[in-house]
Amino acid sequence: MPYDPSAFPPFAVTVDLVVLTVRRHSLCALAVRRGEPPFQGRWALPGGFVRADEDLSQAAARELAEETGLCAHDPSVPAQDNGAHLEQLATYGDPKRDPRMRVVSVAHLALAPDLPAPRAGGDASNARWAPVEELLQQGGYGRDGEPVAPLAFDHAQILADGVERARSKIEYSSLATAFCPPEFTVGELRRVYEAVWGVALDPRNFHRKVTGTPGFLVPTGGTTTRQGGRPAQLFRAGGATLLNPPMLRPEV
């Protein structure tokens, strides 16, 4: 068929962000409160329109910086400091996903270390870290007994997909270190796995596994006591990005 500029319908293209972190031993996602219809007042994932001259990953990095102040890692430079891991997740384009018009959203997944309180256009009450299970329980009740409205649009599905991606990807990659500060202990890394998977891991076998995988962790020489108990060695993430053999997620 010949090229005809009028032959395609116009779309709006957005990026939405699943920003995950680990706070107080639970996996949390960044949610922002919508200020306008549709879904006004409801919680949603941060996101926005892709600009005319912008690549998708640029748009995602810009939105991430606007919402959190984080600067996105280039995936090829995993040892950067003070940044977050950012990768494309999936694209959602149901014709009815936005009642206003045809919007295709390219969702991205960001993993960040624990951060200070989020900001959303300077208004802290309109952005928060919430445990993912709280955001995903549609129409249930939150920890404080308040009724919980489901996320706007199809954002519950997007969040669920992002969480699943994170859960499976820390199995066979060193991505769990993206949840940690630049220097961390084996115990802190283990608590990341435990929070993301929602399971308890044996500290001794975990220690053997991560310290025995070449290139995964490199000791910095320092020690610290952050949790009470015996001081622990500090490590940085090593150059290895793939874990082979993988970390095994315990059976249910």
Contact set with DNA (CB under 7 A): 185-188, 190, 202-205, 207-209, 211-212, 223, 225, 227-233, 245-248, 250
94 binds, among DNA, its own copies, none (CB under 5 to 8 A by kind): its own copies
- Alpha-carbon distance 252 to 235, whole Å? 30
H-helix segments, 71-202 = 132-136, 155-172, 186-197
Q: How far is the CB of 251 from DNA (least distance, A)?
A: 8
204 binds, among its own copies, DNA, none (CB under 5 to 8 A by kind): DNA
Other Cβ atoms less than 10 A from the Cβ of 95: the count is 10
Between 155-172 and 186-197, two packed helices, what is the crossing angle to 10 degrees?
140
- Alpha-carbon distance 86 to 73, whole Å? 6
- Alpha-carbon distance 132 to 19, whole Å? 11
53 binds, among its own copies, DNA, none (CB under 5 to 8 A by kind): its own copies
Task: Give the CA distances from residue 36 to residues 33, 42, 44, 101, 148, in Å, rounded to whole numbers and listed in that order.
Answer: 9, 9, 12, 15, 19
- The structure tokens 């955001």 sit at 135
Q: x/- contact string, 25-44, with its own copies (CB under 8 A)?
A: -----------xx-------
Site for its own copies in 93-152 (CB under 8 A): 93-95, 100-102, 104, 106
Q: At residue 26, what is the residue type?
A: S
Q: How far is the CB of 88 from its own copies (least distance, A)?
A: 6
- Alpha-carbon distance 26 to 126, whole Å? 21
H-helix segments, 149-240 = 155-172, 186-197, 203-212
Q: Which residue number, 88 or 205, has a Cβ lying nearer to DNA?
A: 205
Of 1-9, 134-142, 146-154, 199-207, which segment contacts its own copies by CB under 8 A? 1-9
- Alpha-carbon distance 206 to 176, whole Å? 13
52 binds, among its own copies, DNA, none (CB under 5 to 8 A by kind): its own copies
Q: Which residue number, 11 or 141, has a Cβ lying nearer to its own copies?
A: 11
Q: How far is the CB of 84 from DNA (least distance, A)?
A: 24
7 lies in the site for its own copies, by CB under 8 A = yes
Binding interface with its own copies (CB under 8 A) = 2-3, 5, 7-14, 36-37, 49-56, 88, 90-95, 100-102, 104, 106
